[in-house]
A and B are shown apart, each in its own frame.
Chain A
Amino acid sequence: MNQRLASLLAEVFGLRQEQIVLTLTKDDVAVWDSLKQMDLVVSLEREFDLVLDIPDIVRMNSVSSIVETLALKGVDLGA
């Protein structure tokens, strides 16, 4: 897991970094509601200097889908 992304997700969702794994989904995180999704979007846009459109935002319902979305936006998260 990319440390920059893991740190961001941990902060947004109030989790420890080691809890941020690819298999983590919206259903696993109690606070991950539509308002938290907006926090997530704003944080990702600021951190990676990109703009997410509505389909991107809807698609991001797990850590793996966030990684995929960022990759599609050209963000290099490394190995």
Chain B
Amino acid sequence: MLILELDQSVALVTGGAKGLGFAIATYLAGKGSKVSVVDLDAEAIAALPPSMDGYVLDVTSRADAKTVVNEIIQRHGRIDILVNNAGVIFSEPFVNIMNPKGMMHDYERFRRSITANLDSVFIMTSSVVEKMVTLRTKGVVVSISSISACGNEGQTAYSAAKAGVNAMTRTWSKELGRMGIRCNAVAPGFIDTPSTRSALNESIIKHIQSNTPLRRLGHAEEVAQAVASVITNDFINGVVLDVNGGLTI
């Protein structure tokens, strides 16, 4: 049986310098993984702990993604784990009847959200999987999806992007499984992070909590634990793992 041991692994976490991504990077590093973090935020990259390598990267740039992946491969010899966490939550109603001159969802903003949340996953995964196939690395790709992939009002673009991430995950798991490369996704619900607290007012958070069977928001570390689970269990492939306290039941 092949088991990917975290303490012997090389991991790359996108959008890993802050928030949920940083929690995932910290969890993996705590288990002994050699963690490289890419993030658009140069200040956050500069503030990473010395146990992590940091690279400033726009994950929607194919050329830059290849360059950084090559640098990590040169430094560590391979990449065993890719965590596609980078993304930008975006909300805009499909129809805004209060704005009759621009009633419909802006197309350019739709495209930008798709690029940030879907194209980025394609670009990073293709850059890393090319190396996994060439080097015969039996690696794992974990993409951070969202409860919004089921369809969330006011989030046409974000929901479409995350549903696309789920579809790519299942497709890649079928294509790449024969090479020993597994692909999974983790779909968090509402997680108690500063961004959630700033995006949602207290009454909405209470409403979410009361509709969640566990009656609370999740913790970032619980998402990181889920990511580690789908990495280390060598028979989990093509799964989108909900981490939402039962909210979607």
Contact = CB atoms under 8 A, between A and B. Distances in A.
Interface of A: 35, 38-39, 42, 51, 54
A50 B84 CA distance: 32
Contacts of A54: 134
Nearest to B174: A35
Interface of B: 134, 136, 175, 178-180
Contacts of B175: 35, 38
Contact of B136 (A35, A39, A51): A51
Contacts of B180: 42
A38 B179 contact: yes
A42 B176 CA distance: 11
Contacts of A38: 175, 178-179
Closest A-B pairs by Cβ, 10 of them: A38-B178, A42-B178, A39-B178, A38-B179, A54-B134, A51-B136, A35-B175, A42-B179, A35-B178, A42-B180
11 contacts: A35-B175, A35-B178, A38-B175, A38-B178, A38-B179, A39-B178, A42-B178, A42-B179, A42-B180, A51-B136, A54-B134
Contacts of B178: 35, 38-39, 42
Task: Give the secondary structure class of A's interface.
Answer: helix
- Chain B contact surface mostly: helix
A39 B180 CA distance: 11
Contacts of B134: 54
Given A38-B179, A42-B180, A54-B134, 5 more contacts: A35-B175, A35-B178, A42-B178, A42-B179, A51-B136
A54 B179 CA distance: 14
A35 B179 CA distance: 10
A64 to B, nearest CB: 24
Contacts of A39: 178
**Chain A CB within 10 Å — which of B175, B178, B179, B180 has the most?**
B178
Q: Which of B134, B136, B175, B180 counts the most chain A CB atoms within 10 A?
A: B136
Nearest to A45: B136
A67 to B, nearest CB: 22
Nearest to A35: B175
A35 B178 CA distance: 9
B183 to A, nearest CB: 15
Contacts of B136: 51
A8 B134 CA distance: 23
A42 B181 CA distance: 12
